[in-house]
Amino acid sequence: MQAMVLHRTRREGGGELVLEERAIPVPAGREVLVRALACGVCHTDLHIVDGDLDLPRLPLVPGHQVIGVVESAGPDARHVGPGQRVGVAWLHRACGRCAYCRQDKENLCPNASFTGFDTDGGYAGYLTADEDFIYPVPGDIDPAHAAPLLCAGVIGYRALRQAEVKPGEAVGLYGFGASAHIAIQIARFWRCRVHVFSRSEEHRAHARELGAVWAGSAEEAPPEKLAASVVFAPVGAVVPHALEHLDRGGTVSLAGITMSEIPPLDYERHLYEERTLRSVTAATRSDAEDLLDFAVRIPIHTDVETMRLEDANHALARMRQSVIRGAAVLDFR
């Protein structure tokens, strides 16, 4: 198979993925072998390539928003068989025994491993995945349009839940990339009035097309106080603005896996009146199942720029420049 492989991060003087021929992996235990049809390009992949995260291993094949078909199963797999169309997400495996797993909070499992981080991911023709951490994908959704749902969509959904968004409320979204353009469709389904904050006029226009009632910069005050907000941009300087725009008793959730330094917060100005600031860490299996259900019911439409596997470096460069409309997807078909 072909794979795009990271040998050295940008911080270490590298950062270019290399197209290589590799042996197709063999599923062990409860793993299945998945033939990739499409893989979304996630901001977390960019953090991995740029060296913003401490990596457990190199070389590494990134990618964790995979739509594919099961080709074969390991000797202990029981629930998934060849021919099934599935999605592979960021959470590769959790221990199933710790206090967090026993409370269905496997996203917080201290022994969790992650696709395209601890294990080789979806920037390749094939990958292996644990049968308990893959998801049935309806056959009537195009693979390239379904791929961003597996992380951008799931994290956007969990971030809305962590912000405690309720139907009909005024909601803020800071940054308008792959996750936010899916989250706005969920919030609109909940009849929320969505206000979008972005530096890019192109992204603001995209937000208005998707039903935002207002769009401006993070420094601008929206026309009303917000009951809840999600910060998708990994920019700490946005956080004080999000808290200032929040109504009493509101919540801001931070959806990024990493964040630049947050400026000092003033208690009375940013947090008093029971405002809450919280992070989002990965997602649970039930988040993915719920999001895929929403994808069919709403239905969610993802705006995607499709590229070939060998164009992965170009996709990451465009993401670094914040010029992608919606999500970038590597299409293997």
In the predicted model, what is the mean pLDDT of residues 63-69?
98
Q: Quick one: fold of 153-279? A: Rossmann fold (3.40.50)
pLDDT on residue 82: 94
Range 269-275, long-range pairs (CB < 8 A, 24+ positions): 269/243, 269/244, 270/240, 270/243, 270/244, 271/243, 273/248, 273/249, 274/248, 274/249, 275/243, 275/246, 275/248, 275/249, 275/250, 275/251
Give the number of other Cβ atoms within 10 Å of residue 35's Cβ. 17
Tens of pLDDT along 231-240? 999 999 999 9
Strands 304-307 and 91-93: unpaired
| pTM to 2 decimal places | 0.95
Q: Which CATH class is domain 2-148+283-331?
A: alpha beta
Strands 276-279 and 246-254: parallel
Domain spans, the chain: 2-148+283-331, 153-279
Fold match between domain 2-148+283-331 and domain 153-279 = no
Tens of pLDDT along 208-225? 999 999 999 999 999 999
In the predicted model, what is the mean pLDDT of residues 281-293?
96
First to last CA, the chain: 14
What one-character DSSP code corresponds to residue 270?
I
Q: In the structure, what pLDDT confidence band is assigned to residue 140 with cuts at 50, 70 and 90? A: confident
Tens of pLDDT along 193-206? 999 999 999 999 99
